[in-house]
Structure 1
Amino acid sequence: MNLNEAFLDFLVEAKKKSYASQGDDASVEPKLEGSQQLEFQNGDFFYRDIYFGMSYFIGQETVYYQEKPIWSMVYSGGVNSKQDIKDARTIYSFLRKAMREVNLDTPFRGPKQFTEGNFIYSDSHEGSIELFKGIENISFRDEKVYRLSYSGGSIR
């Protein structure tokens, strides 16, 4: 296995084992005041996700190899302003299920589409792991209730 394959395997594992599985419960003591910080390590790879906010949030994921940052993604988004906190928790619970379906072909967020009950998750992106941008949406009964934009790539 070469470094790029090992990196992709690690990235998918980190995403599945951090927010997608544990939500905010995966948080460690944050380095930045007022943030949530999630971390995962396996061998020489280390993943850190730092974000601020809940209904609307902004964050950054970074992967390190042998303590050197090699990849990063920034994101911002959240639930529509008319959603209350109970709705937001339900939407984010569904989002974590979709994010657990992340795969090696598109390791940015979740799968192209994921459906459960009246919820539909969709992700569209362009580019490759080295340089990309995308948007994910969640609809409930044909009404868009969540949107997130993201971009990132390899650090050179």
Structure 2
Amino acid sequence: MYLTLLNDFIVEAKSRTYVGGGSPRPSCRPGSHDIGYERGEWRYLDSYFGGTDFCGQETVWLNGEPIWAMNYFGHIIEPGLIDGSRAGAVIKAALSSMYSEKKRFLGGMEFDHAFGFYIDNSEGDCAHFRGMEMIIVEERRAYELDYRGGLIRL
């Protein structure tokens, strides 16, 4: 039950922040880009550095206690095939579909877009996971992102 509530909140928060075009928040660390969401006792923050090549962490708090986190690193591998703007369009469309249709945030997803073919594979569940998303353009991996995370035990 707890993991279901957590998963549902993560999907809701992700769909209302990066994918949903949420408003930026003040940086919590020098140079970071932050975007967050809150509902009741739940709080979510995505804080990252960079642009085309980037690194970040998402965290969920329940009643003020950190309970879940995910870190990630993504980058353009083939700048001649895709740029940050096009990669972002593919990712937002694919993740929007995953969140709204599948009601989950972890992989097992393929999505065809005009700018490239999106693939997301992962192992595990909300409690402990790792995965990779990529965009294929002209049968070549043009972008990739590694991620991992899970429950935080205090």
Q: TM over 0.5, yes or no?
A: yes
Q: CA 1:121–1:68 in structure 2 vs 1: closer, same or farther (change >3 Å)? A: same
- Do the aligned partners of 1:118 and 1:141 also contact (CA within 8 Å) in 2? no
2:125 to 113, 123, 128: 128
Deviation at 1:88, TM superposition (A): 1.5
Deviation at 1:106, TM superposition (A): 4.2
Tell me, what secondary structure is at the counterpart of 1:102? helix
- Do the aligned partners of 1:40 and 1:48 also contact (CA within 8 Å) in 2? yes
Which residue of structure 2 aligns with residue 96 of structure 1?
Answer: 92
Once the two structures are superposed, the pairs formed by residues 3-152 of structure 1 within 5 Å of their partners are 3-22=2-21, 26-80=23-77, 82-83=79-80, 87-103=83-99, 106-108=104-106, 112-152=109-149
Tell me, what secondary structure is at the counterpart of 1:52? strand
Distance of 2:59 and 2:98 partners within structure 1? 17
- Do the aligned partners of 1:139 and 1:146 also contact (CA within 8 Å) in 2? yes
Tell me, what secondary structure is at the counterpart of 2:89? helix
- Do the aligned partners of 1:16 and 1:102 also contact (CA within 8 Å) in 2? no
What residue ranges of structure 2 are gaps of 5+ in the alignment? none
What residue ranges of structure 1 are gaps of 5+ in the alignment? none
Q: TM-score, normalised by structure 2?
A: 0.88
Measured on the aligned residues, the alpha-carbon RMSD in Å equals 2.0
94-103 or 128-137: bigger deviation: 94-103
What is the percentage of aligned positions where both structures have the same residue? 30
Deviation at 1:130, TM superposition (A): 0.9
Superposed CA deviations along residues 88-145 of structure 1, whole A, max 9, x for unmatched, are: 211111111111123466423x661111225111011111211111011011232221
- Do the aligned partners of 2:52 and 2:83 also contact (CA within 8 Å) in 1? no
- Do the aligned partners of 1:99 and 1:111 also contact (CA within 8 Å) in 2? no
Q: CA 1:81–1:116 in structure 2 vs 1: closer, same or farther (change >3 Å)? A: closer
Q: How many residues align?
A: 151
One-letter amino acid matched to 1:30: S
Q: CA 1:67–1:102 in structure 2 vs 1: closer, same or farther (change >3 Å)? A: farther
